[in-house]
Chains A and B, each alone.
Chain A
Amino acid sequence: MAIKPNTAFLTSYRIYVAAFFVFLAAPLVAAGVFAFNDSVFPSLPWQGFTLDWFFNDTEPKLGMFHDRRLLRGLYYSFVIASFVSLLSVFVGTCNAFLFVRCKFPAKDFFYIMMVLPLVIPGVILGISILLLASNIANGAEEALSLDLDFLRPGIILVVLGQFSFITTITSLVIIARLKKFDESMEEAAFNLGASRVRVLRTITLPFLFPAMAAAGIVAFLVSFENFNTTLFLVGSEAPLTITMYDRMVKVGSTPVLNAVSFFLMVGSAMLALVSVLVQRDKPQT
């Protein structure tokens, strides 16, 4: 302990910290608990425990696993998040080698450019990409009568929009790991006669793998829960957050949204746990 404050102060400090964590947990608990309330409104009083909001197949208590639109949203979210995570880990890994290993002019400037997408508001990223894509598509249609459908709002634009800022996150995670790499290990392998490709495959990439996996999981989760950027780029294939928002605005809050929230919270928690576990350093042998 750094300081030895008096006990009264320490006690009130502890109470503050505890209160803060209650504050953090409160809305999540509220969103999760009502998934199990046997009532058509997500509010008190408690009507008894039920799993209908997950598994029931008839109105008015249509469970989330029988709700076509929600399931479709879940599917699209999954597809989008998988693409975003693969793409952003690939580019993030390239960026890590670029910024840790290579020497080139104006490196500091490019590094700032790499970090920049993280501080641009998501709404702006969304509309700027939408504008550019639509203008190109319109231009191609008028001048060349080409129908560039992939530049219209839809899955591809959503993937590109999310990728544009998630890549910064994956790059930072992988760069941090690559910086810790001891280059004498590569040199040793070269001295033993290994080729570049072989060194990369057997030494460097295995070392980077935990960071790449963790970055991929983070990218997957950030993509899954993204709303701001997605909102402007979404076409008819709406991912889950958009579907939920639509439902919330049009139908009002129903416990099936609580069920989806609970499902997503458990899913994210498990993925986050995996990412913590893969990144934990194994004891050196």
Chain B
Amino acid sequence: MMQSDIKRLSLILLFAPFALWIFLLIILPHLGMFYISVQEKVGPRMYEFGLGNYINFFTEPIYWNTLIRTGSMSLLVTVLALLLGFPIAYYIAKIAGNRTRGALFLMCLIPLWVSDLIRAFGWILLLRETGIISTSLQWAGVVNTPIEFLYNDAAVIMGLVYTVILFMIVPLVSTLDGMDNAMIEAGYNLGGNGPTVLRRIIIPYAMPGIVSGCIVVFMLTAGSYLTPILLGGKNSSWFTEQIYDQFITRYNWESGAAFGFLLLAFTSLVVWGGLKLSGQTLNSTVARS
């Protein structure tokens, strides 16, 4: 009797901070945001229920074009991060020797501890017209006028891949690390060549890591703000920039809330689709620890 009372009390005490956190800082704000997004301004300090903010989004091509653009560029970044990151993760988990493995893994994590802002700043110093690459190319005599590498889509994509690739590599390394080398050897012994072993054994095994990396990378990219703005300049047209614009520049919170909700709905939809396609669940991927 005493025992079960204590159990119940400690459950309540432990559940309270969790519930306060999730309810007050996650659920309630999002419900509030949804509520505000379906309010229309009909006069000074007068609001009524309506879908005007959402209709406005779909009738104004510049808005939904930006969302489509953000989404497709984020997908491209995700694919690039996977293609570039997988060989690195495989090298760290399977090919590098025991001592280099830890060092390489730590080196992968270093940019993680540096602010987005500093990373973008570093790229600006490298890529701009008076930057290191342009100056070096002139000095080497490859070109004779300064070249601007910044402020185009390629710079944005590269900067984003740089920012998020660690979140691809880390889950991949931990999945591949748990894979028994004997499985790969067995594949070869059974007569498979490199590509077959990769396709039939390694990739299926690494699937939870791949999906988890892709989800995190996609969410981070679609929600990123600094990198597209600093590397893309005025015409980066990233969706988070639209949201910021509605909130801070135009002071139109209702429409900003609607945009925020659309971004959330869009990214959740993509993640949900990805999970369905790959046959994984959120628990089996992102929540693995």
| Residues of A in contact with B (beta carbons under 8 Å apart) | 1-3, 5, 10, 13, 16-17, 20-21, 23-24, 26-31, 34, 41-45, 90-91, 94-95, 97-98, 102, 104, 108, 110-125, 127-132, 135, 160-161, 163-164, 167, 172-173, 175-176, 196, 221, 224-225, 227-228, 231-232, 241, 244-245, 248, 253, 257-258, 261, 264-265, 268-269, 271-272, 276
List B14-33 residues whose CB lies under 8 Å from chain A. 14-15, 17-18, 21-22, 25-26, 28-30, 32-33
A28 touches B118 (CB 8 A): yes
Contact of A127 among B87, B117, B194, B260 (CB under 8 A): B260
In the assembled complex, the Cα of A30 lies from the Cα of B114 at a distance in Å of 13
| Minimum CB distance partner of A163 in chain B | B25
15 more A-B residue pairs beyond the given contacts A43-B132, A91-B21, A123-B223, with a C-beta to C-beta distance below 8 A: A2-B185, A5-B194, A13-B95, A17-B88, A17-B91, A20-B88, A30-B126, A31-B122, A31-B125, A43-B130, A95-B17, A116-B26, A124-B33, A225-B116, A271-B113
In the complex, the answer to whether B84 meets A20 with C-beta atoms within 8 Å is yes
The count of A-to-B residue pairs whose CB atoms sit within 8 angstroms is 245
Which B residues, 184 to 205, have Cβ-Cβ distances below 8 Å to chain A? 184-185, 188, 194, 197
* Segment among B48-56, B57-65, B280-288 that sits at the interface with chain A: B280-288
- Asked whether any CB of chain A lies closer than 8 Å to the CB of B79, the reply is no
Chain A minimum-CB-distance residue to B222: A121
- Which secondary structure dominates where chain A touches chain B? helix
With known contacts A16-B87, A253-B125, A123–B115 Cβ distance under 8 A: no
Q: Is the CB of B125 within 8 A of A43?
A: yes
Q: B194 to chain A: which residues have CB within 8 Å? A: 3, 5
Q: List 13 A-B contacts (CB under 8 A).
A: A3-B94, A24-B110, A26-B126, A97-B10, A119-B219, A124-B263, A131-B29, A135-B32, A164-B26, A231-B244, A232-B247, A261-B118, A264-B118
Residues of chain B at the chain A interface (Cβ within 8 Å): 6, 10-11, 13-15, 17-18, 21-22, 25-26, 28-30, 32-33, 36, 84, 87-88, 91, 94-95, 104, 106-111, 113-126, 130-132, 135-136, 162, 181, 184-185, 188, 194, 197, 215-216, 219-220, 222-226, 230, 240, 243-244, 247-248, 253, 256-257, 260, 263-264, 267, 271, 282-283, 286-287, 289
Does A24 lie within 8 Å of B108, measured CB to CB? yes
A-chain residues with CB within 8 Å of residue B6 when the two chains form the complex: 196
The majority secondary structure among interface residues of chain B is: helix
Q: How far is the CA of A102 from the CA of B216 in the complex (A)?
A: 29
User: A112–B282 contact, CB under 8 A?
Assistant: yes
On chain A, the residues within 8 Å of B136 by CB distance are 44
Q: How far is the CA of A227 from the CA of B5 in the complex (A)?
A: 45
**Among the listed B17, B91, B117, B122, which residue makes an inter-chain contact with A244, where contact means beta carbons less than 8 Å apart?**
B117
| Chain B positions within 8 Å of A10 at CB level | 95
Interface contact A115-B287, CB-CB below 8 Å: yes
Q: Which residue of B lies closest to A119 (CB)?
A: B219
Which 7 pairs between the two chains have the least Cβ-Cβ distance? A121-B223, A27-B122, A225-B115, A128-B29, A31-B122, A268-B113, A164-B25
Contact partner, B117, options A2, A130, A241, Cβ 8 Å: A241
With a 10 A CB-CB cut-off, give which of A120, A124, A175, A261 has the most chain B CB atoms.
A124
**Is the CB–CB distance between A43 and B135 below 8 Å?**
yes
Contacts of B119 in A (CB 8 A): 27-28, 31
Chain A CB within 10 Å, residue with most, of B109, B226, B257, B260: B260
Q: Given A128-B32, A228-B225, A98–B15 Cβ distance below 8 Å?
A: yes
CA of A135 to CA of B36, assembled, Å = 10
* Chain A residues in 8 Å Cβ range of B243: 123, 127
Known: A28-B110, A272-B109. A91 touches B121 (CB 8 A): no
Q: Is the CB of A110 within 8 A of B18?
A: yes
* Chain B residues near A45 (CB-CB < 8 A): 135
Residue pair B121, A129 in contact (C-beta under 8 Å): no
Select from chain A the residue with minimum beta-carbon distance to B120.
A27
The answer to whether B26 touches A44 (Cβ under 8 A) is: no
Assuming the contacts A2-B184, A30-B132, asked whether A253 and B225 have C-beta atoms less than 8 A apart, the reply is: no
Complex CA gap A18/B16 in Å reads 49
CA distance A5 to B181 in the complex (A): 14
